[in-house]
Amino acid sequence: MKRLLSLIGLAATGCWLFAASVTGYVTDEQGEPLIGAAVKVANSTVGTITDFDGKFELTDILPGTSVEVSYMGYLPQQTQAADGMRVVLMEDVQRLEDVVVVGYGAAKIKDLTSPIEVVKGEELVAIPTSSPMSALQGKVSGVNIVNSGAPGAGPLVQIRGIGSFSNNTPLFVVDGMFYDNINFLNSADIEDMSIMKDASAAAIYGVRAANGVVIITTKRGKQNQRPDVTYDGYVGVQTVSNLVPMCSSDQYAEMLLEVNKRSYTRMFNNAMKAYGGTYDSEAGVFHLDQNTNWYKELLRPAVITNHSLSINGGGEKATYGVAMSYLYQDGIMKTTNNYNRLNIRGNVEYKPFTWLTIGFNGIFVQSNQIFPNNAAWQQAYNMPGIFPVYDPATADLYTDGYASPLTLQLTSNFYNPVATAKLYDSRNKTNQMMAAVFAQFNILPNKLNIRTSYNYDYTGMGAYTFIPEYYISNNQKNETSTLSKSTTTFNNWIWDNTITYSDQWGKHGFKAMLGLSLREEQYRNLWGVAQDVPAGKDSYMYLSLGNTEGRTVGDDGSRYRGFSYFGRLNYNYDDRYMVMFTLRRDGSSKYNEKWGTFPSVGLAWTLSNEEFLKGVEGVDYLKLRASWGLLGNDKIGASYGTTNSEVTRAVFGTNTALSGYINATNFSWLSWEVVNETNIGLNYAFLGNRLTGDIDWYYRLTQNAVVAPTLPMQEQTIAGNWGEILNMGVDFNINWEHHVGKNWTYFIGGNVSWLHNRVMSLRDGVNMIKGGKTVQKVGEKMNSYYGFKVIGVYQTEEECASDPVAVANGLVPGDFKYEDVNGDKVINEADKQILGSYIPDWTYGINFGFRYKGLDLSVVLSGKAGGKIWNRKRALRYASNTYNFDLDQYNLRWHGEGTSNSNPSAAGLMKSWNIGDSQNASYFVESGDYFRIQNITLGYTFTNVGAGTYKMPSIRMSLSADKPFTSFGAHAMTPEVSDSEGWDTEVYPLTATWSFAVQLKF
């Protein structure tokens, strides 16, 4: 074959030369050698790569033969072979030639008709997080990421708003396998991530695609690649970034005495007696010696470290990749809570024949997570500082010498937060295995191939929670130790079969793909609870060691199957007009209605390739895109269209229980939700490719959204495909990058997303549905808070006397004045209103930095605006009058006419009118806006570091500060609340991480 090609080359050039060796070198525009550039004889598989000096040698080749030179990030070039040739590659600033994974195939960026954001693994690798998605915060427009500081906890990820009342998790496709998250992956294992934002890109995943799709490709070797050995590692310290300042013991005493001196003096006298202090009877002020800062007692700096080693390479017929990594993250809660993970990955591809490629890909993950008891965070907020963590005086009465709230007669709802944190042991051990095999039949090389792949995932989780026997108070005790244990397994498989054909006839480019996919998801859970299991050793954690009597067990499971066929058609005319059609037909065992069809179409017009724009100064690239498609969401409850019978027991006589049943009186007939999305966008590059970016407008309407209004006069809800949700928005990216001379580059860029989220309709005749925490109301944002709006604080007795509402409810100055929405001079349920939602209107990111020779600096800023959080920490005050106050509740309180028109008096903070759990006063709604310095990284890269004859390609060292500073107004530890409805309670504080990272390439 080689000879045949050479002969053709010979004939074409008309020269007569002997086949010989050709050497040359490849550089960039600045003359720097490009290492590892591919040099290939056109239309053949013959080729080589450049060495450290950018040099290459092609043997057995006729000069004048057409060769292709390509290098990642540079525009490929076709030229004629000549000995001593020099090839200068131009940088592909817009990465138009980069290939992105698009689901059952790949496409060049220049051919895309939809907004697909590609994130390279190297952008994630040095950011100290346990989950790769956490590192994307602030980097990608249209993707809302809410991080958590708990060790091993993954972020909440929402792509283009939230379009379902049931489930908003995007689909993660890891090398072909479907996942709900990628918290198990190591950032260093990721080659790239494609985030498919619009319907035309995602529709190929049909009924799974409605919440957006993120396709992750793990690293692998390339053909003819020398072994690339890379070590990535970092070590960092996490510290809490923000605290809520609380009242000191003296301030707390001042507040309570202000409310009722007679009733509360006793408590502080007791505190004084027990822990010291003085009472200034003249001023009526206590000076207490004990002043515990419960938050500080619960916090510590914590370490995070990650080490990854990988080897990728390939020869003529085989490529391989092997990697191993270890992550350890300690929690900042001052007790045992941490996460560690071992990832092992390997893949191999082999071409036994020119027409066949086979391969195996495996990822094995073992992780151990020790959970914190987040209840302690709320307790630290509620507990006044008047008693200590440990009390030697009562050490023999209470477990481990903890101070008991009983000592000060604090009973109901008072806990020693440190004891809560420590007397708790909850762990989860996960073993996950993903294995995939594939075979690809290259029937016509580069034109027609058939691929079949089988992906299997097994995830096994063993979890236990052990609560030892302890006694801290009447309220905080556990009479017998309790062990709850569970085993959960997931067995999922997908079998994909595709046939792909692509061809080019002159200016007509054509590509078609047809596929067939089968999948099954199986979930099993078995659990048991036993009492009186001995404490002290991990090896005791067996139900069998507990009481045989009273042990309880249970289990559950589910099994779903899917059967789909799909196709995609791409047509490209002259790189100017692009069309893409996709269609997926999905069958699902989850529903009575089994089959659904999900079509999409995308159009693109590269204006800059038109005659009228060619040569226009300053305009380098301009592409207009439009797309439409339907997507499904089957992450909602299954429906078999039947009522079910609940097994229950009732007691008849001593120690006798009989089993019976309760027949459900109604049932849901459900189907998947459908997202109908239109997207219009523009990609641009101006001013010599220095200014690049894109802008997209989208209109996503979720139809058949599953809503579950409560049935008349019952707690039971009935779910049906009745709702409509709109997410409309704009994603905008702009970047400026300038290479000033050879060594100096600077860049600045930003992204901003605007989102308009509205509930468009619920069930006929239903205007609002109340859930546990929030409501859904037509015309408002999803998950809105609903309650009385505070419009002021009563200032004077006269004001109270003249207001019938104040008279009827016995209000006094310092109490809230609520808006009387219907003006009937009565405040009741009818006066509640929408008070905001956690969903932000704006998310943005800014990045800038420079590179000077080996030195680089990058800064990422990010923020959100327009969302609200519910300060449940404060709202829980309804449970006890004597809970502590945060410092602003003290500083800003009403204490006389004109002192405050937004904060109640100390007495008001104890009155159900202001703080009652049914009032939901807007006082508890706080701004979720924040601005953050997301990341600052300063690095230096040494290249070709020599050690004798051996030269290391590169060593990079960097220092980074991750999330070092966050500014926000809410009285919270973090404006990022892990609860998807924005309830701020028991939230693990977010951390700032200071780390040092090294990357070594051997």
Partner 1 sequence: MTTNKFSILNAQCLILIALFAILSGCSFLNVDMENKIAVSEIDYTKTADMYQPVIGAYSKLRWPGMHWVSNILWTGRDDDMTSGRTDDQQDALLFGYRGGYQCPNSFWGLRIAWINSYDVIRTCNSALEALDKYAQHIQPGSQDYADYKSYRGEVITISSWMYYMMASSFGPCVLLKDNNQTRFVRSTQQHVYEYVIAQLDSVIPDMKRMRPNQMPHQGAFTAFSAEAIAARFALLMGDYAKVETYTDDIVTNGGFSLYPDYYDLFKIPGKLCDESLMEVQVTDFGLTTGDYIGIDQWYVSQGASLKGTVGSEQIDIAGWNFCQYNTRFVDWCKARGETTRLEVSCLQTGDKTRDNFTVTSSGIFNGKAMLPYDQMTGGNTEWGRNNNVRLMRYAEVLLMNAEAKVRNGKSGDAPFNEVRTRANMPTVNGVTLEDILDERRIELCSEWGLRYTDLVRTGKAETVLNDPALVRDQANGEWTTAKAWWPVPGDQLTNLPDLALDPE
- Per CB under 8 A, the segment of 18-26, 406-414, 941-949, 961-969 that binds partner 1 is 406-414
Answer for the pair 723, 762: CB distance below 8 angstroms, yes or no: yes
Query: From edge to edge, which strands make up the β-sheet containing 784-787?
Result: 768-770, 775-777, 784-787, 833-837
Q: Which of 280, 655, 764, 823 binds partner 1 (CB under 8 A)?
A: 655
Residue 423 C-beta: closest distance to partner 1, Å: 17
Residue 638 C-beta: closest distance to partner 1, Å: 7
Nearer to partner 1, 482 or 689 (CB): 482
CA distance linking residue 643 with residue 706, whole number of Å? 18
Nearer to partner 1, 326 or 490 (CB): 490
Residue 735 C-beta: closest distance to partner 1, Å: 44
Q: Which of 52, 360, 573, 661 binds partner 1 (CB under 8 A)?
A: 661
Task: Report the site for partner 1 in 188-217 (rule: CB under 8 A).
Answer: none
Residue 850 sits in the site that holds partner 1 (CB under 8 A): no
Q: Which of 912, 940, 951, 967 binds partner 1 (CB under 8 A)?
A: 912
Residue 399 is given by DSSP the state G
CA distance linking residue 727 with residue 698, whole number of Å? 8
Q: Which amino acid is at 159?
A: I
Residue 714 sits in the site that holds partner 1 (CB under 8 A): yes
Nearer to partner 1, 77 or 411 (CB): 411
CA distance linking residue 559 with residue 561, whole number of Å? 7
Residue 896 neighbours by CB under 8 Å, 6+ apart? none
Residue 509 sits in the site that holds partner 1 (CB under 8 A): no
Q: Which of 715, 823, 898, 949 binds partner 1 (CB under 8 A)?
A: 715
Intra-chain end-to-end CA distance of the chain, in Å: 36
Furthest CA-CA distance within the chain: 114
Which burial class, exposed, middle or buried, applies to 713 when counting CB atoms under 10 A from its CB (0-12, 13-18, 19+)? exposed
Q: Which amino acid is at 474?
A: N
Residue 803 sits in the site that holds partner 1 (CB under 8 A): no
Residue 650 sits in the site that holds partner 1 (CB under 8 A): yes
Residue 916 sits in the site that holds partner 1 (CB under 8 A): yes
Residue 651 sits in the site that holds partner 1 (CB under 8 A): yes
3-class secondary structure, 913: helix
Task: Report the site for partner 1 in 749-778 (rule: CB under 8 A).
Answer: 766, 768, 770
Residue 709 sits in the site that holds partner 1 (CB under 8 A): yes
Give me the helices (H) in 118-157, please: none
Residue 356 C-beta: closest distance to partner 1, Å: 8
- CA dihedral over 234, 322, 366, 119, signed as positive or negative: positive
Convert residues 76-115 into a mask of x (bound to partner 1 by CB under 8 A) and - (unbound).
Answer: ----------------------------------------
Residue 380 C-beta: closest distance to partner 1, Å: 19
Closest CA to 679 of 198, 116, 159: 198
Closest CA to 309 of 322, 297, 300: 322
Task: Report the site for partner 1 in 433-452 (rule: CB under 8 A).
Answer: 441, 443-444, 448, 450, 452
**Angle (CA) 405 911 827, round 5°:** 150
Nearer to partner 1, 786 or 988 (CB): 786
Q: Which of 169, 181, 269, 411 binds partner 1 (CB under 8 A)?
A: 411
3-class secondary structure, 782: coil
What six digits make up the tokens of 3?
């000879």
Beta-bridge partner residues of 789:
none
Residue 341 CA to its chain's centroid (Å): 18
Nearer to partner 1, 466 or 968 (CB): 466
Q: Which of 615, 653, 741, 948 binds partner 1 (CB under 8 A)?
A: 653
Number of residues engaging partner 1 in binding (CB under 8 A):
98
CA distance linking residue 443 with residue 450, whole number of Å? 7
Within 13 Å and on the Cβ side, how many CA atoms surround 619? Answer: 14
Which burial class, exposed, middle or buried, applies to 690 when counting CB atoms under 10 A from its CB (0-12, 13-18, 19+)? middle
Q: Which of 355, 360, 940, 942 binds partner 1 (CB under 8 A)?
A: 355
CB atoms within 10 A of CB 330: 20
Nearer to partner 1, 280 or 715 (CB): 715
Nearer to partner 1, 222 or 551 (CB): 551
Answer for the pair 472, 398: CB distance below 8 angstroms, yes or no: yes
Closest CA to 749 of 736, 739, 740, 730: 736
Which burial class, exposed, middle or buried, applies to 712 when counting CB atoms under 10 A from its CB (0-12, 13-18, 19+)? exposed
Cα–Cα distances in angstroms (integers) from residue 332 to residues 180, 295, 369, 416, 992, in the given order: 27, 11, 14, 18, 10
Residue 824 C-beta: closest distance to partner 1, Å: 13
Q: Which of 394, 426, 480, 678 binds partner 1 (CB under 8 A)?
A: 480
Residue 396 sits in the site that holds partner 1 (CB under 8 A): no
Nearer to partner 1, 245 or 352 (CB): 352
Task: Report the site for partner 1 in 10-69 (rule: CB under 8 A).
Answer: none
Residue 400 sits in the site that holds partner 1 (CB under 8 A): no
Task: Report the site for partner 1 in 926-965 (rule: CB under 8 A).
Answer: none
CB atoms within 10 A of CB 263: 12
Q: Which of 809, 899, 943, 954 binds partner 1 (CB under 8 A)?
A: 809
Written as one string, the DSSP assignment of 971-988 is: SSS-S--SSTT-B-SSPP
Nearer to partner 1, 448 or 938 (CB): 448
Residue 552 sits in the site that holds partner 1 (CB under 8 A): yes
Residue 479 sits in the site that holds partner 1 (CB under 8 A): yes
Task: Report the site for partner 1 in 822-841 (rule: CB under 8 A).
Answer: 828-830, 832
Q: Which of 16, 505, 612, 652 binds partner 1 (CB under 8 A)?
A: 652
Q: Which of 281, 544, 659, 949 binds partner 1 (CB under 8 A)?
A: 659
Residue 555 C-beta: closest distance to partner 1, Å: 8
Residue 889 neighbours by CB under 8 Å, 6+ apart? 247, 255, 874, 903, 909
Residue 685 CA to its chain's centroid (Å): 30
Q: Please state the length of the chain.
A: 1002
Q: Which of 910, 921, 970, 992 binds partner 1 (CB under 8 A)?
A: 910
Nearer to partner 1, 481 or 974 (CB): 481
Nearer to partner 1, 445 or 792 (CB): 445
Residue 488 sits in the site that holds partner 1 (CB under 8 A): no
3-class secondary structure, 239: strand
Residue 171 C-beta: closest distance to partner 1, Å: 20
Task: Report the site for partner 1 in 566-625 (rule: CB under 8 A).
Answer: 587-589, 594
Q: Which of 342, 518, 680, 760 binds partner 1 (CB under 8 A)?
A: 518
CA distance linking residue 459 with residue 467, whole number of Å? 26
Residue 806 C-beta: closest distance to partner 1, Å: 10
Residue 474 sits in the site that holds partner 1 (CB under 8 A): yes
Residue 283 sits in the site that holds partner 1 (CB under 8 A): no
Residue 589 C-beta: closest distance to partner 1, Å: 4
Residue 474 C-beta: closest distance to partner 1, Å: 3
Nearer to partner 1, 550 or 792 (CB): 550
Q: Which residue has the tokens 């799909």?
A: 566
